[in-house]
Amino acid sequence: MTLKLRTRLVITHLCTALLTVLFFTVTAGLFTGFLFEKYADVTQARKTAALVRSLEDQYQESGWQKEEIVKIGVQGLSYGFITKVRDAGDKVVWDALEHDREACQQTLRHISHSMRRFLSGWEGEYTTKTYPLSKGGKEIGTLEVGFMGPYFLTELELNYLGPLNKILAVLALVCIIAALTLSRWVNKGLTKELDKINRLAGLVAQKKSYDPLLFTSSSEEIRKALDNIKQLGQTLEEQEQVKKRMTADLAHELRTPLTTLQANLEGLLEGIWQPTKERLSSCHEEILRIIRLVGDLEQLTKFESDQMKLNGATFDLGELAGNICLNFQGAYRQKGVVLEFVGKKEMMTGDRDKISQLVVNLLSNSLKHTSTGGKVILVSSSNKDFIYLVLNDSGSGIPPEDLTRVFDRLYRADISRTRATGGSGIGLAIARAIVEAHHGSINIVSQVGTGTEVTVVLPRNYLKDKTMESEV
């Protein structure tokens, strides 16, 4: 059965209050019983000592004063004690039971009833204790005291301590009411905050606009949740824009070769043009462009997939980058751009083929955007854990508003470029996918008219000489 959060919180607070009250009641009961016992023992000892002193004080050289003994015995009966006094020869001087048996029995019954009513677990039985009597260092007799043991309290004492149980009951009720009130107050505030989260999540899911100022909270946890949902909404909106832009870019990339093919085929079908070798070769070239574009997209999709496999091997990145620079020397020289590599031996464990493609894509991108007379420098360096590749070119640079989009699919900062001059706009996206698959990072800093700097950071030993899945 599914319960609302409000109901769960009420039940939790109520159970907590009940357990607290139960614990408090049991603890208070045990502690009170312990204190009662100690109090009764002390009180009984104090009263019997008073009786002993009174009997010893009334004793005269001429013997016991019977009238005084009766007064003391009656006083002891008011305490709940059934007394019996014996002289030094063990002869009974005075016995409360013989004096008034009915009063003694009534006193014992009343004490027993009162104690059981006040303390349900109290179990008493008639108990006697004997105390010696002496005066001037001379033994004059004994006092035998009978009472309901192991301990008892008089009616007056019970009337004083009796309200304690009522107080505990009232405190228990107050605690439960306070717990329910607190639960209601906490639930109201919490559910109000959760309603904010639900409403904001609903607006984000429905792609509706909202006022961010209406969705704030003084609670740090709720505020973080709201901020995360806002960030998620912004990310989803950006992804939607990227998807729309990619669809438009893909349509633009395909429109030119398809339009050329359409015009050539219509001219051939209508007899305007003859199916010459040059005409058919032009159509074939446009088809190859479309195939290359689709191939690039397939390759990028594979690289960006969570299941991309990296073939681990240990190799010299400095040597690899240097060899690729040598292979590009011809293309750079033909365009009139200087290419220079600065680096030394940099051993790392990674996918050699994909790292090669990373370097190729970076050099190809710099070649396209660096004019004749420019210069491109690739530098490799390292520390204990990471290897750095830094590529600087003196190209046209990238506008600030385009820096956040240069890694997007099919994106080109200059939309006027054709595929022949500006590429497909997939090279940097593939480069980023390769770097992230190796748990590295890639960053671009650029200034229009000055040039661009690309920094790649790769862990030295992310892969350990075996094929494994990327954890991207």
SS percent in the chain: helix, strand, coil, step 5: 60, 20, 20
Helices (H), 80-210: 96-99, 101-118, 155-161, 163-205
How distant is the alpha carbon of residue 336 from its chain centre? Answer: 59
Q: What is the mean pLDDT of residues 343-352?
A: 90
**What are 186-245's pLDDT values in tens digits?**
777 777 777 878 888 888 888 777 777 667 777 777 778 888 888 888 878 777 776 776
Contacts of 148 (CB under 8 A, 6+ apart): 80, 108, 111, 112, 115, 124, 125, 126, 127
Q: Residue 138 above 80 pLDDT? A: yes
Q: Is the dihedral of CA 417, 423, 428, 430 positive or negative?
A: positive
CATH T-level fold of 216-305: Helix Hairpins (1.10.287)
- Three-class secondary structure assignment of 38-88: HHHHHHHHHHHHHHHHHHHHHCECCECCHHHHHHHHHHHHHHCCEEEEEEC
Cα 420 to Cα 424: distance, rounded to the nearest angstrom: 9
CATH of segment(s) 5-172: 3.30.450
| Other residues' Cβ atoms within 10 Å of the Cβ of residue 16 | 14
Level-2 CATH architecture, domain 308-469: 2-Layer Sandwich (3.30)
Q: Residue 144 above 50 pLDDT? A: yes
Higher-confidence position of 259 and 381: 381
Q: What is the mean pLDDT of residues 167-190?
A: 75
Q: What is the mean pLDDT of residues 59-75?
A: 85
| Other residues' Cβ atoms within 10 Å of the Cβ of residue 320 | 18
Give the pLDDT confidence score for residue 178 in this predicted structure.
80
Residues 333-363: b if buried by 16+ CB within 10 A, e if exposed: eeeebebebebeebebbbbbebbbbbbbbbb
Cα 379 to Cα 392: distance, rounded to the nearest angstrom: 8
pLDDT over 90 percentage in the chain: 19
Confidence bin at 470 (pLDDT 50/70/90): very low
Cα 430 to Cα 408: distance, rounded to the nearest angstrom: 10
**What are 259-314's pLDDT values in tens digits?**
878 888 888 888 887 888 887 887 888 888 788 777 767 766 766 665 567 788 89
Radius of gyration of the CA atoms of the chain, in A: 50
Nearest to 204 by CA among 235, 242, 241, 243: 235
Give the pLDDT confidence score for residue 154 in this predicted structure.
67
Q: Residue 448 above 90 pLDDT? A: no
Q: Are 463 and 310 in contact (CB under 8 A)?
A: yes
Domain map (residue ranges) of the chain: 5-172, 216-305, 308-469
Q: Write out the two tokens for 184.
A: 């209601």
Q: Find the range with the poorest average confidence among 154-163, 202-211, 374-383.
A: 154-163
